[in-house]
Structure 1
């Protein structure tokens, strides 16, 4: 099995190191000091499950790698539309793209029977730009339940979780999913093949759609949000509206709001990825988390007043945080 990891940051390098340890031919696509460190010293994984070092190939030029069986996308979803030059040199006729993203994926209605079959969501696939770079028929969905961070260039700190749920958009249990799952498990990770990955997407989204924008707007950790009575009530309202939208488009994930908040509360004073991006001056990954659900609500005719209000504020924050002070958004 030949795998290229495009965007070999904390999650991507962790997956690449695990697959390399399982015997796959792995190529990490990265840049800057992180790339140089991986070329020199390999990927060092520091984990409560045991530290290890893997030495997969690493490059900044995918044309050096050539066609692969799987592309594992470790990029943020807001980079997908521009990923074509990185991904296309890696493709052969049957290459699968395992997209490890939060939120609503660009392939959401691909292969899904019902009134919205093949519908494109402009918030996650503007003008079809993502589908042009990453054809939906190549997509294998992936919901990440692992937490990692780059402690230093070439050094991945694994904090918790080893589960990477994957699944086909058309709900089939395909050979390509089973083969990828087997390699991930051989590398020490959990990788269940889910007949309907959309359930996992919505369950994880319940937390991301609420805690992520609120944490950025309030500069607050998940624990601080849970302990603040009115902020907690806001999270509950956002989650309930999100479940209404999921049901309206045909998905009823088996997760209550109370249980989802309790799980977030156990995480404690953790900064969400959106707050971390804000503090680092990076673009905020809010379209797939929040704008997409508002668009789905419009499509289904579902009222979501709380989601709309938070989306307006978060979108303003995303606009102003990336603009020079005093400039018009």
Structure 2
């Protein structure tokens, strides 16, 4: 399968690297420093099971997605609209655009802009860019994807490449469940500059997290979202399964980059206001992260 990764950050490099390692024709579209390193030395994929350099193509240009059967759309939520417009002229009629993004609105935004089939995916992976062309995997890696004409083939391709994947009719609910995990951890990890395992040991932190989650669940219920599984248990498990992980928001702020906080706790605040649900804990976290960004 010919696969393009639009937005080759930590998530895009991990899944693109796994697919290239399995023998697929993969091109990563990313920032110049990463592209240059990958062109010279390949992508260094450092996981808990192996540490290898994977030869694959890389480009800074959106035109590199041309001819791809599958586009893994991995840009930050803040770049969704601009990136979708960039790749639009180069997509084949039957290309599947698979959104591997935080937040719950991105796939819908892409659908408004491109005529090709778009499917949302829920991503459960702990990764970071450890340097130019070097992705470090800390844990997990499974995907839950929406049904589409190509979803069965894509799922089998991912599974064969070592990526646990399932197809679900309730990806909206699963995206909300992931959103709640992000709301519980991302801002707190960014503000304190602590990884998840140390974060939850702080005095009063688990109580604050419970307040955050309760607000999110109240907003989801008012919005008619059915959330699968035990969310509170899932929140507790994050610190156990990924104790050394810093949130993506923490990683963004440490690099002086704009975060996705408007699409995480900020979304809960906006939807809460629209639905008449109070969200003071999420509002405070959103405000604090925006203040840090402004510095």
CA distance in 1, matches of 2:53, 2:28: 14
Aligned position for 1:161: 140
- For residues 190 and 136 of structure 1, the distance between their equivalents in structure 2, rounded to whole angstroms, comes to 28
Structure 1, gaps ≥5 residues long: 111-124, 168-172, 322-329
Please say if residues 47 and 136 of structure 2, whose CA atoms lie closer than 8 Å, have aligned partners that are also in contact: yes
Q: Which residue does 1:78 correspond to in 2?
A: 78
CA contact (8 A) 1:225 1:231 kept: yes
User: In 2, are the aligned partners of 1:226 and 1:232 still within 8 Å (CA)?
Assistant: yes
Q: What's 2:271 paired with?
A: 296
Equivalent residue pairs, number: 294
Q: Retained in 2: the 8 A contact 1:274–1:285? A: yes
1:131 offset after TM fit, Å? 5.8
The aligned counterpart of 2:213 is 239
Q: Deviations over 1:76-110 (max 9, x none)?
A: 11111221453124312232221111122234xx5
- Larger of the two Rg values belongs to structure: 1
Task: Decide whether the 8 Å contact of 1:71 with 1:87 is kept in 2.
Answer: no
8 A contact 1:22–1:183 mirrored in 2:
no
Counterparts in 2 of 1:309-328, with a 5 A limit? 309-318=284-293, 320-321=294-295
RMSD across aligned positions (CA): 2.4
Determine the C-alpha separation between the residues in 1 that align with 2:31 and 2:180: 33
Q: C-alpha separation between the residues in 2 aligned to 1:35 and 1:158? A: 19
The answer for the alignment partner of 1:274 in structure 2 is 249
- For 1:78 and 1:156, locate their aligned partners in 2 and report how far apart those are by CA, in whole Å: 22
* Alpha-carbon shift at residue 257 of structure 1 (Å): 5.1
Q: With structure 2 as the length reference, what TM-score do the two structures score?
A: 0.89
Check 1:138–1:75 CA distance in 2 against 1; reply closer, same or farther (3 A cut): same
Q: Which residue of structure 2 aligns with residue 196 of structure 1?
A: 170
CA offsets, 1:50-76, max 9 Å, x none? 334332222222335523222112211
Shift of 1:27: 1.6
The structure that is strand-richer by fraction is: 2
Quick one: distance in 1 between partners of 2:78 and 2:65? 24
Residue 287 in structure 1 maps to residue 266 in structure 2: no
Q: Name the structure 2 match of 1:67.
A: 67
- Against the structure 1 CA distance between its residues 315 and 136, is the aligned structure 2 distance closer, same or farther, given a 3 Å change threshold? farther
TM-score by length of 1: 0.80
- CA shift in 2, pair 1:158/1:257, >3 Å: closer
**Structure-1 separation of matches of 2:254 and 2:230:** 31
After superposition, the Cα gap between the structure-2 partners of 1:299 and 1:261, relative to the gap in structure 1 and judged at 3 Å, is: same
- Deviation by residue 1:224-266 (Cα, 9 ceiling, x = unmatched): 4322232321111010110111122222323445413321331
Cα separation, 2, equivalents of 1:258 and 1:52 = 36
Looking at structure 1, the residues matched to 192 and 18 of structure 2 have their Cα atoms a distance apart, in angstroms, of 36
CA contact (8 A) 2:158 2:164 kept: yes
